[in-house]
């Protein structure tokens, strides 16, 4: 058997997503719903921006003939000045001027600054519960920082001018006329600069925002959907990692290197394909599935159709008895002499499903307590076809020993001379040894795997058990394989018969 591929193919990924679409859609819906609820419960916040530019006054000083070095790092100067915008005294002045019903701390928490590293431009960003308040505060802060900086610079120039004038006044006599004239000229220039200095310009006033900056339901919904999809994919990955059950046909092919002989739907399980068996009438698609299985079994072995076919599964409740009875029915309606034998001596089901007496049966015959005529039951398979059935019989404690006994071998040899096809419904492979003893005595084995129930480990263990008997031809029957789990070529189409009233 080939090792299962560890790579994830696109069809396998698609199958995983399709199978777990409900989980992903649920997480997306939950995330979007939570986002919508939070957006509805969140008070709107409006954002307004103004901008100020801190000018380099060295050009003004040089224009007046006062030596000054230019500022070669305007961004650092602007960053230092930007800190003044959120100073409590500046904010307190704005609060007083605008008569805002917010505390200094509340305003301070709602204000942030942003410095353009390539210039001396500082943006003032204000968030407020109303659009008008946000714009008023942004413009008020811009004006306040402009006025504060202008007052400080003008005061410095005036103080410099007065200091220069005082130095000039201290110079007496004719010898100091030139020096006194220099200081007087410097004082006049500084006092003149104090009258028109503009260290800060408001380059952008804030406009009243048209809508809130947060919450943004559309953006939040899209992000929530993406987050929900990621969360859903994570849950699917965890489920795929820890859920060992085989769910898709492609998974089975990757895990178990065996030909697939047929598919049965969930609807067919637990019932019998016989229209006249007393069970509810089967759907035509289900009976057709057994006909397909019959055809595929005939081609399992290139040497020719198998005479004795054993049907088993890794564990109970995986559809082996339904498969065995359905295959036997399909063989019978094909005008083949067919014998169905219930070899599951521990948990027999054939007698109950077909409405036959449980004993005498196989156990009584193998114990020498019954003759062949006592255990052979003929069942109407429909359309005039007959199926011969041997039930399991009464309880016994030596199940495995009976099935490997010489009497059972002689029994198989005898019925093989009489019947065209013999179908053995055997016990599951893994829990008991009964079926292991039968494998050397049969021509072909059908291993039933129930999608959504059989695990990878159980399927692999059953495959390994069958590998010890290389002479037996083995095929798989995938049960509970509903339309969504089957490939398009495996029974996804229906072609039913016309009612009699519509026939020509």
Q: CB of 391 within 8 A of CB of 321?
A: no
Per-residue pLDDT tens over the stretch 339-385: 999 999 999 999 998 989 999 999 999 999 999 899 999 998 887 88
With tokens 């198989």, the residue in question is: 412
Is-cis flag, bond preceding 112, omega within 30? Answer: no
Placement of tokens 């957006």 in the chain: 39
By C-alpha distance, which of 45, 57, 198, 203 is closest to 123? 203
**Exposed e or buried b per residue across 308-332, where buried means at least 16 C-beta atoms within 10 angstroms of its C-beta:** bbbbbbbbeebbbbbbbbbbbbbbb
Instruction: Supply the DSSP string of 193-215, one letter for each residue.
Output: HHHH--SEEEEEPPPPPSS-SB-
Q: Which domains does the chain have, with CATH numbers?
A: 10-42+217-242 (no CATH), 46-204 (3.30.1890), 249-492 (3.40.50.300)
CA 90-94-100 angle, to 5 degrees, is 140
- As a whole number of angstroms, the distance between CA 358 and CA 316 comes to 20
Per-residue pLDDT of the chain (504 residues; tens, 9 = 90+): 444 444 556 766 777 777 788 889 999 999 999 999 998 888 899 999 999 988 766 655 555 555 555 554 556 767 777 888 888 988 998 999 999 888 999 999 999 998 887 777 899 999 999 999 999 999 999 999 888 888 888 888 888 888 888 888 888 776 778 888 888 888 888 888 788 788 888 999 999 999 888 888 888 899 999 999 999 888 888 877 777 888 888 888 888 889 999 999 988 888 776 655 555 666 788 889 999 999 999 999 888 899 999 999 999 999 999 999 999 999 999 999 999 999 999 999 999 989 899 999 999 999 999 998 999 999 988 878 899 999 999 988 898 999 999 999 999 999 999 999 999 999 999 999 999 999 999 999 999 999 999 999 999 999 999 999 988 899 999 999 876 555 544 444 455 554 545 544
SS3 for 432?
Answer: coil
pTM more than 0.85: no
202 alpha carbon, distance to own chain's centre: 52
CA distance 337 to 289: 20
Alpha helix positions (H), 279-403: 284-298, 320-333, 350-354, 362-366, 372-375, 399-403
Q: How far apart are CA 264 and CA 483, in angstroms?
A: 10
Q: What separation in angstroms does the CA of 498 have from each of 171, 404, 409?
A: 128, 49, 47
* Cβ partners under 8 Å of residue 287, min gap 6: 273, 275, 326, 329, 330
Under a CB-based contact definition with an 8 Å cutoff, are residues 477 and 261 in contact? yes
String of b and e for 115-142 (b: at least 16 CB within 10 Å)? beeeebbbbbbbbbeebebbbbbbbbbb
What is residue 5's DSSP assignment?
Answer: P
- Candidates 477, 148, 95, 440; CA nearest to 319 is 477
Where helices occur in 340-498 by DSSP H, the ranges are 350-354, 362-366, 372-375, 399-403, 406-418, 434-438, 456-467
- Return d(Cα 225, Cα 222) in angstroms, integer: 5
| Dmax (CA) of the chain | 156
Q: For residue 116, what are its two tokens?
A: 């353009």
């Amino acid at each position: 058997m080939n090792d299962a591929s560890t790579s994830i193919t696109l069809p396998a990924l698609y199958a995983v997503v399709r199978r777990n679409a409900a989980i992903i859609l649920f997480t997306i819906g939950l995330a979007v719903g939570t986002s919508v609820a939070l957006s509805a419960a969140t008070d709107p916040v409006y954002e307004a921006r103004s901008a100020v530019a801190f000018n380099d006054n060295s050009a003004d000083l040089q224009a007046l003939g006062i030596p000054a070095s230019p500022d070669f790092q305007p961004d650092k100067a602007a960053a230092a000045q930007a800190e003044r915008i959120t100073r409590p005294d500046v904010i307190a002045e704005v609060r007083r001027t605008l008569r805002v019903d917010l505390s200094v701390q509340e305003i301070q928490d709602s204000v942030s600054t942003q410095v353009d590293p390539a210039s001396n431009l500082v943006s003032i960003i204000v968030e407020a519960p109303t659009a008008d308040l946000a714009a008023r505060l942004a413009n008020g802060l811009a004006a306040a920082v402009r006025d504060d900086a202008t007052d400080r610079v003008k005061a410095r120039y005036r103080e410099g001018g007065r200091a220069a004038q005082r130095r000039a006044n201290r110079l007496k006599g004719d010898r100091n006329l030139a020096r006194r004239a220099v200081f007087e000229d410097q004082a006049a220039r500084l006092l003149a600069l104090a009258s028109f200095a503009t260290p800060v310009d408001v380059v952008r006033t804030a406009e009243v925002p048209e809508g809130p900056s947060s919450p943004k339901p559309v953006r939040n919904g899209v992000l929530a959907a993406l987050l929900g999809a990621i969360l859903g994919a994570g849950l699917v990955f965890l489920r795929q990692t820890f859920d060992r059950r085989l769910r898709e046909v492609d998974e089975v092919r990757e895990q178990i290197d065996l030909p697939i002989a047929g598919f049965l739907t969930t609807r067919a399980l637990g019932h019998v394909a016989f229209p006249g068996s007393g069970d509810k009438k089967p759907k035509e698609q289900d009976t057709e599935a057994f006909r397909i299985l019959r055809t595929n079994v005939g081609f399992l072995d290139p040497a020719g159709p198998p005479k004795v076919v054993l049907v088993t599964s890794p564990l109970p409740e995986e559809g082996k008895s339904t498969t065995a009875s359905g295959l036997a029915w399909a063989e019978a309606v094909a005008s083949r002499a067919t014998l169905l034998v219930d070899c599951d001596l521990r948990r027999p089901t054939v007698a109950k499903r077909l409405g036959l007496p449980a004993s005498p049966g196989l156990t009584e015959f193998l114990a020498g307590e019954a003759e062949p005529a006592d255990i052979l039951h003929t069942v109407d398979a429909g359309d005039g076809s007959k199926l011969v059935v041997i039930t399991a019989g009464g309880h016994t404690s030596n199940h495995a020993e009976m099935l490997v006994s010489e009497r059972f071998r002689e029994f198989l040899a005898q019925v093989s001379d009489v019947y065209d096809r013999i179908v053995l419904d055997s016990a599951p492979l893994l829990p008991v040894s009964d079926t292991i003893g039968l494998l050397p005595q049969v021509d072909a084995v059908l291993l039933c795997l129930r999608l959504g129930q059989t695990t990878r480990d159980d399927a692999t263990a059953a495959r390994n058990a069958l590998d010890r008997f290389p002479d037996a031809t083995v095929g798989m029957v995938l049960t509970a394989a509903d339309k969504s789990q089957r490939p398009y070529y495996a029974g996804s189409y229906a072609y039913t018969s016309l009612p009699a009233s519509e026939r020509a």
